[in-house]
Amino acid sequence: MAGPGELGEGEKERWRALRAAAETPRNPFMEPEFTEAVGLVRPQARVAVVYEGLEPAGFLPHERGPLGQGRAIGLGVSDAQGAILRPGLRLDTGELLRGCSLSSFAFDNLEAEQRLFVRYAAEEHATYVIDVEKGYETYESVLRAQSPKFLKTTLAKERRLGRQVGELRFVFDEREPAALRTLMGWKSAQYRRTGRRDRFAQEWITRLVGRLAETRAPECSGTLSVLYAGQRPLAAHFGLRSASVLACWFPAYDPECAKYSPGLVLHLRMAEAAAAEGIGMLDLGRGAAEYKDALKTGELPVYEGAVTRPGVGAALHWLSREPARRAHSFVRARPGLAALAARTLKSAARLRRT
């Protein structure tokens, strides 16, 4: 067991090598740099290192709570979770949890190939992806075939935005701190406007994003993309990228320009720039949204659930998470009820502002 910052360079290189050998896309949330960044803002972060002889054969990044209640590293904001294991390594889940002094291990975006934990999943969700492996032009041709009206309308709005607001320019990897602060302000306002919990009101998330914005590693690099009209930012996105995956994380736009759909324009330019950088996939994350349905070319499964060991800690985990998870699942499975819930959240948000 070690704190994320206590891993040696040899252990981190082995971690990266195991990720390179995995069958799943190389999502930057699964890299040691993300775990290190979480460790700087979450003192309960830990990494279990599994050895075969003198060589590390596996890693389980996690956070440890009261009575050993464990959770995936960065749970609540991380979009890919699980253990990093040598292909073919056979582990007993209960033995692993005992070695970590964990009574449970909760996850909500478990990768599909996590055979050690998938059988404990309570739900399967879809994470939406954009395939640009064959280049942006091929992606546009796919959009023309599956969503011709969407693409035509969005490109027309992009041209009108340039004419009426100002000449457009797009920066794929913006390093200006003020642009990141603008994005956080837009996103906080969006959360409040829709009645959602404001993630940036939580200090650890704000600090984590700030740390990752400064992270520059080949397989985990903070990437801030901004659509400007002249010097005015219209839409922005902060995410993480590896050499092959851009993990989309925090998108937002200036609500004064909502009629031009600057967020959709931004995503098209991000897809174009990612393809030019040799990135093959944009991961839009789980959770249904109209813009994801319009932009996606496919879906990948992710899983939500928990492994538990008998005892008080497991019972507390069930009481603290399972009733809420089941309620959310019940609402999500019924579109009419989900729409009513969304309207109720927005109405509550408006009442709080008045």
The closest of 292, 321, 271 to 134, measured between CA atoms, is 271
- What one-character DSSP code corresponds to residue 160? H
For range 318-333, the mean pLDDT: 54
Average pLDDT over the chain reads: 91
Q: Is 119 exposed, middle or buried (0-12, 13-18, 19+ CB in 10 A)?
A: exposed
Helix 32-41 to helix 9-21 angle (10° resolution) is 130
Full-model pTM = 0.88
pLDDT bucket at 329, cuts 50 / 70 / 90:
low
Q: Smallest Cα–Cα separation from 187: which of 200, 172, 174? A: 200
Q: Amino acid identity of 6? A: E
Position 284 scores a pLDDT of 98
Query: In 3-state terms, what secondary structure has residue 277?
Result: coil
- Alpha-carbon torsion (65, 85, 52, 15), positive or negative: negative
DSSP single-letter state for residue 2: B
pLDDT of residue 345: 43
pLDDT band of residue 341 (cuts 50, 70, 90) is: very low
For the chain, domains (ranges, CATH) are: 4-124+302-343 (3.40.630), 128-301 (3.40.630.30)
